[in-house]
Amino acid sequence: MARSIPGSKGGGGKTRSSDTPASGSAARDFRPSRDDILRYIASNPEKSGKRDIAKAYSLKGEDRLWLKDLLRDLQDEGLLTKDRKRLIRRGALPHVVVLDIFSRDAEGGLLARPAERATEDDEFNPIVSIKQRRDASGPAPGVGDRVLAKTFPTNDPTGPAYTARVMKVFDRQREAVLGVLRVGHDGTFRIEPVERRQTELVVEAEFLNDAKPGDLVEVEPVRAGRYGLPRAKVLTVVGSLNSEKAVSMIAIHAHEIPHIFPKDVIAESEAVKPASLAGREDWRDLPLITIDPADAKDHDDAVFAEPDSDEKNPGGVVATVAIADVAAYVRSGTALDREALKRGNSVYFPDRVVPMLPERISNDLCSLKEKVDRPALAVRMVFAADGRKIRHSFHRIMMRSVARLAYRQAQAAIDGAPDETTEPILETILKPLWAAYEVLKRGRNARQPLELDLPERKILLKPDGTVDRVIVPDRLDAHKLIEEFMIQANVAAAETLEAKKQLLVYRVHDAPSLAKQESLREFLQTIGLSLARGAQLKPAQFNGILARVRGEDNEALVNEVVLRSQSQAIYSPENLGHFGLNLRRYAHFTSPIRRYSDLIVHRALIGALGLGKDGLTRSEEERLEDTSALISATERRAMAAERDTVDRLIAAYLAERLNDTFDARVSGVTRAGLFVQLPQYGADGFIPVSSLEGDYYIFDEAARSLFGERTGKGFQLADRVEVRLVEVAPLAGAMRFEMLTDPKPLPGSKRSFHKAKGQRSRTRASQPRGGSNRRR
């Protein structure tokens, strides 16, 4: 029997117990129970927003306010979480998800698991049964494939938790295996695979293809004999395992990143002819310039600014951003377009770039080269003196960049040290740009985006591709200027498309979930800070906390915890706003060479504004939800590959420094132990809790700490410590350390433990030490 909901009318309103809500006026006599709501959401993943639920149960007026409170309670309790505007059961799969097909059932049906965990902080990993449609077009999925699919809960306790319908097969099964050539004890050549799930392979001498022991190679498995290890032949020698090129190739293969363009894509790119002036405005006399990293190979954005001549806008400026017109060359439905969507984005490693588009497009036709005619899509924006954008307009143009500058070069000119390139344009171009930035900065300050202080590290390589050193590049005004110009151009694109009622892909960043807000609030209480309650937190409230700890010992700790409380930014056809930038609408427009999302926005603008016949097609509009899910997944894939490459590089670099001591900072706290980061290198390693001596150590999730039950002393997130490197596994990018710093007093830890005794992990320090661990 359903129980009544606390807080309902009269202290205990009517309820109904049913998986399916009643319709019509009869339903108005009932309020659904908590279980009803949870069952409805599980059974109706496509219609699980607050409005959908209210409509399904015919809730109106006061009942809708009651429903809002109930849903908030269910989120606070961790029973529900948000996926865009939909609500989903905690641990439940999103309606659109990436799956890896791993096997078949007894009847030959395909079985799959999520490529990623369903949520950021649980380990729910259900089995999904793939339903194959006989009339489906495109390649049929098979075991080993990765697919984009829509999921549907089964409510079957004896079978798979979900069924799924495949929307797209976007990663085909690989034939090649990556591994290191070794010589076995018996003198045979063997392949030590990079991926743990792959078995060891034997290579006959005649199939070595000039590979030498220690080389990283791609091999093709061949038919195995009845006995012994399976055999393979070497296809290509990637390089020595000691070179950085090999390390990035490991990540490319491990994350299944397409890195070789098919022949038809290359042929199509080579056949493309430069765009003409026809149908474009001639802006070649406007002195646009590009400002990029010194080692940039493509230049897809150019800027110009000047004071507004309109006497009605005193102190105002006109800022122009021109972006390479990739849509002119990459047409919908072509081989180029299909490959770009498959890749989703370019991937950047310390020694190489895996581009989204072939070099003929990215580094040539769509690169805004100095003093060369190039097609572009431009936005001209007018700002008032206080930084408010008054109006903007988009134009399809032909431009000619007057100068290609590096960030440091442009900054040096403004700081009084121009060179032969910047001297002639200092007064006419650079100073007006910086004056415009001062205006835009006023608008940014009024907007108050989230201001985290988390320096980014960059790996510098030696000529042989190994690590030279790790630096933290200076954050220059030149960087901030370009960033703010691009943000405003992105906002203008979203605003224009909304005004034209044109579908698009937004870049959305949802506010922190209520559960994460509460976790952050508990942490801040442990250091004497408070965070207001409520679902409508603004970035300014986080900035206030960050300002209070600026210059204090726990500044790095608070910045790190605030960062971890944030949601992950994704692409979506549904606008949720951008919490971090504190913007109501935001779309990526400024990098179509390296992000497919931006190419979609370009096509949408071209179509909505009548700027050509190569706009967004109807079929593309219909697939925007699927496309958004795909490019969000490829972005996460790229980030993981880049991070893994850095981990492997630093692990290989430090492999010769076993038993050396390092200054470190605690970068993560778990029941299993401490993750520590070496600030000098930006690399992470692990300290097992079993190696912490002298006490029973208890995990305090709220305080992000491990503390001793007897002494109350321990270690907390962001603590500065001294550690000794005791084990390195370069292929896995893993390092294990021992703690040398004595634990410190953690006020409140013992009280916190006794209050919630039995809910936290206790680990005896005398347990055997664990091996290498790696955070994923």
What pLDDT, on the 0 to 100 scale, is given for residue 772?
A: 33
183-209 pLDDT, tens per residue? 988 889 998 877 655 678 899 888 899
Question: What are 51-96's pLDDT values in tens digits?
Answer: 888 888 888 887 888 888 788 777 765 566 666 566 665 556 777 7
Nearest alpha carbon to residue 129 among 88, 89, 91, 158? 158
Residue 564, classified by CB atoms within 10 Å of its CB into exposed (0-12), middle (13-18) or buried (19+), is middle
Region 620-626: mean pLDDT is 93
Using CA atoms, how far apart are residues 479 and 408, in angstroms rounded to an integer?
9
- Amino acid, res. 696: Y
The model's pTM: 0.75
Q: What is the CA radius of gyration of the chain?
A: 28
Highest averaged pLDDT of the listed ranges 430-444, 731-745, 746-760: 430-444
pLDDT at 19 over 50: no
Three-state DSSP at 725 gives strand
**683 pLDDT above the threshold of 60:** yes
Contact (Cβ atoms closer than 8 angstroms) between residue 608 and residue 525: no
Helix (H), strand (E) at residue 235:
strand 231-240
Kindly tell me the number of DSSP H helices and DSSP E strands found in the chain: 17, 37
In this predicted model, which residue has the larger pLDDT, 373 or 644?
373
Supply the mean pLDDT for the chain: 83
- What CA dihedral angle connects 680, 681, 685 and 689, to 10 degrees? 10
Q: Would you say residue 10 has pLDDT above 70?
A: no
pLDDT digits (tens, 9 = 90+) for 126-178: 788 888 765 556 677 877 678 888 888 776 666 777 888 888 886 554 557 78
pLDDT of residue 177: 78
Among 402, 382, 379, smallest CA distance to 390 is for 382
SS3 call for 50: helix
DSSP one-letter string for 672-714: TEEEEEETTTTEEEEEEGGG--SSEEEEETTTTEEEETTT-EE
Confidence at residue 148, expressed as pLDDT on a 0 to 100 scale: 85
* 201-203 and 231-240 beta bridge pairing: parallel
Q: pLDDT > 70: what percent of the chain?
A: 83
Look at residues 174, 176, 149, 151 and name the one whose alpha carbon lies nearest to residue 162: 151
Residue by residue, DSSP assigns 251-307 as: HHHHTT---S--HHHHHHHHHPPPP-STTSEE-TTS--EEEE-TT-S---EEEEEEE
- Model pLDDT for residues 443-474, shown as the tens digit of each residue: 999 999 999 877 778 888 887 777 888 888 88
pLDDT at residue 384 above 70? yes
Is the confidence at residue 297, as pLDDT, over 90?
Answer: no
9 confidence band (pLDDT: 50, 70, 90): very low
What one-letter code names the amino acid at 581?
A: L
- 653-678: pLDDT as tens digits: 899 899 999 999 888 888 899 999 88
568-617 tens-digit pLDDT: 899 999 998 999 999 999 999 999 999 999 999 999 999 999 999 999 99
The closest alpha carbon to 704, from 578, 527, 548, belongs to 527
Please give the pLDDT value at position 169.
Answer: 80
Give residue 263's pLDDT band: very low, low, confident or very high (50, 70, 90).
Answer: very high
Distance CA 691, CA 694 (A): 10
Give the model's pLDDT for residue 767.
36
